[in-house]
Amino acid sequence: MSRILVFGGAGYIGSHTCKRLAEAGHEPVTFDNLCEGHRDFVKWGPMIEADITDADAVRSAIAREHPEAIIHFAARSIVPDSLTDPGGYYRTNVTGSLNILEAARDCGGVPIVFSSSCAVYGAPARLPIREDTPKSPASPYGRSKLFVEEILTDFSAAHGLRSMALRYFNACGADPTGEIGERHRNETHLIPRAIFSALGRVADFRVFGDDYDTPDGSAIRDYIHVADLADAHVRACEYLLAGGQSDALNIGSGHGCSVFEIVRAVEAAGAGRVPLEIAPRRPGDPPELVADTTRAQDVLGFSPRHSDLETIIETALAWHRKDA
């Protein structure tokens, strides 16, 4: 059993990863400030309640817990918010990450799996998106993730601190057993908001743009089930524990679904009709973003098992009905 310190382990993706770590025979220790995470999502190991911007708390946790590896999810992640509060995003996402990296370096070079994002690419000229696609993030959020990736590269070269950055696409769905799921205090994501609209919990579900150059006019995205994302993080962690070298990989399903396909799938799953309004496109939203996942398959042996649209919607709907 390896002890894994999971920063942000009480959040959506972090909690699913802690469950998968425990299933794989590891001991997850959660470090979370509970700003967006949930205490009742911490079920598979102990918890440290603290903030990554507190350098002393981060260093103390790593020194005390002696983890064999670190998985780092803790971040602010709402793209529109990053446009109005860039300083807050850089302070948490970049400075907080630097606290973790420096402590990991000083505590024996603990390897790190970093939660990055396809937002580092911006609006790419070619699809599908490969790891060598030029990086041109369109928001402070995306830039903060790219900055941390670059710091990881520098720490690997200067200090031998090994890391794996996982650039994942649209996380969605819920634990297939219904034990945990997606619960945000301010829900902005497409799938839960479409479900909430069908269930009568929101009255302002908007589709941003129906005039894209796509088959049905709505934007296309790559949706990856959270259980598959959790598996990718555990695989990356085990890769580093086995001596694997620093890298950055796309984690997605490898195919795209449009907004209107999502709406139809929610209705087909029995949630009811999805009332919506068509709103103008949001600035900077590209028509299509789809991952090339070849390298994740080659390096980690990763292949999604839950990321078909039917499973995504069924697990999400079951969770949101339960978590009312």
Residue 303, pLDDT score:
97
pLDDT band at 324, cuts 50/70/90?
A: confident
Residue 283, pLDDT score:
81
Residue 19 has pLDDT above 90, yes or no: yes
How far separated are the first and last CA of the chain, in Å rounded? 36
Tell me the backbone φ, ψ of residue 225, rounded to 5 degrees: -65, 140
Based on the fold, state whether residues 260 and 135 are members of the same structural domain: no
Query: For the chain, what is the mean pLDDT?
Result: 97
Q: How far apart are CA 178 and CA 134, in angstroms?
A: 38
In a 13 Å sphere around the CA of 38, the CA atoms on its Cβ side amount to 14
Q: How far apart are CA 288 and CA 152, in angstroms?
A: 29
Based on the fold, state whether residues 56 and 202 are members of the same structural domain: no
Q: Which residues contact 233 (CB under 8 A, 6 or more apart)?
A: 13, 17, 20, 71, 113, 115, 166
Based on the fold, state whether residues 247 and 179 are members of the same structural domain: no
Strands 69-72, 206-208: pairing is unpaired
Residue 26 has pLDDT above 90, yes or no: yes
pLDDT band at 105, cuts 50/70/90?
A: very high
Q: Which CATH number covers residue 195?
A: 3.90.25.10
- Total number of domains constituting the chain: 2
Q: Which CATH number covers residue 134?
A: 3.40.50.720
Q: Is residue 25 part of a domain?
A: yes
Q: Is residue 295 part of a domain?
A: no
Based on the fold, state whether residues 166 and 229 are members of the same structural domain: yes
Q: What is the pLDDT of residues 175-212, one digit of tens each?
A: 999 999 999 999 999 999 999 999 999 999 999 999 99
Q: What is the pLDDT of residues 53-92, one digit of tens each?
A: 999 999 999 999 999 999 999 999 999 899 999 999 999 9
Based on the fold, state whether residues 92 and 164 are members of the same structural domain: yes
Q: Which residues contact 177 (CB under 8 A, 6 or more apart)?
A: none
Residue 29, pLDDT score:
98
Q: Is residue 108 part of a domain?
A: yes
Percentage of the chain with pLDDT > 70? 100
Residue 281 has pLDDT above 90, yes or no: yes
Q: How far apart are CA 248 and CA 232, in angstroms?
A: 12
Residue 67, pLDDT score:
98
Whose CA is closest to 88, among 129, 96, 266, 116?
96
Q: Is residue 297 part of a domain?
A: no
Tell me the backbone φ, ψ of residue 102, rounded to 5 degrees: -65, -40
Based on the fold, state whether residues 123 and 191 are members of the same structural domain: no
Q: Is residue 301 part of a domain?
A: no
- Which sequence positions are flagged as catalytic? 141
pLDDT band at 252, cuts 50/70/90?
A: very high
Q: How far apart are CA 214 and CA 54, in angstroms?
A: 45
Residue 285, pLDDT score:
86
| Position 188, amino acid | T
Task: Provide the 8-state DSSP code for 130.
Answer: P
Residue 1, pLDDT score:
81
Q: What is the pLDDT of residues 286-307, one digit of tens each?
A: 899 999 999 999 999 999 999 9
Based on the fold, state whether residues 198 and 136 are members of the same structural domain: no
* Structural domain boundaries enclosing 158: 3-171+224-251
pTM: 0.97
Based on the fold, state whether residues 45 and 179 are members of the same structural domain: no
Based on the fold, state whether residues 74 and 209 are members of the same structural domain: no
Q: Please tell me whether the peptide bond between 128 and the residue prior to it is cis, using omega within 30 degrees of 0.
A: yes
Q: What is the pLDDT of residues 132-144, one digit of tens each?
A: 999 999 999 999 9
Q: What is the pLDDT of residues 240-249, one digit of tens each?
A: 999 999 999 9
pLDDT band at 223, cuts 50/70/90?
A: very high
Q: Is residue 37 part of a domain?
A: yes
pLDDT band at 157, cuts 50/70/90?
A: very high
Q: Is residue 299 part of a domain?
A: no
**DSSP annotation string for 245-286:** PPEEEEES-SSEEEHHHHHHHHIIIII-----EEEPPPTT--
Mean pLDDT of 228-236: 98
Based on the fold, state whether residues 311 and 179 are members of the same structural domain: yes
Based on the fold, state whether residues 165 and 176 are members of the same structural domain: no
Based on the fold, state whether residues 101 and 133 are members of the same structural domain: yes
For residue 271, give Cα distances in angstroms to 178, 180, 311.
Answer: 17, 20, 14
